[in-house]
Amino acid sequence: MSGRELVENVMARANEHPDKLDGFDSDYVIDLTGDGGGRFRLRIADKKVAIVDDESVPPKASVTLGVADFDSLLQEKVSAMALFMQGKIRLHGDMGEAFRLESLFRS
């Protein structure tokens, strides 16, 4: 599955359960590296998440990791903390917000 498909699946699940989006109100960047990767700016506002092209709002947090590691995270085979400790995930901005994004990735 491509990075875009993985991100779109996360968005669809989150939008089906808007309660998971409580307290989120900003832009976030997910930068997926490797085959099928890409840079995705997510805007979470009004209990909805969408991919946007608008760069005018600075993201609260940016997360960089490989597509395969992102897929493992989504399948709950590994935690964001484990990836971070292994140096497989890089965080920029508000680290608390970056780790909080993991709640969107969990089913």
In sequence order, what are the beta bridge partners of 15? Answer: none
pLDDT tens figures, 40-87: 999 999 999 999 998 888 999 999 999 999 999 999 999 999 999 999
| Domain definitions of the chain by residue range | 3-105
- Judged against a pLDDT cut of 70, whether residue 107 lies above it is answered with no
Residue 69 contacts residue 79 (beta carbons within 8 Å): no
Taking domain 3-105, whether its CATH number is 3.30.1050.10 is answered by yes
Residues 6+ apart with CB under 8 A from 18: 47, 48
Q: Looking at the whole model, is its pTM more than 0.85? A: yes
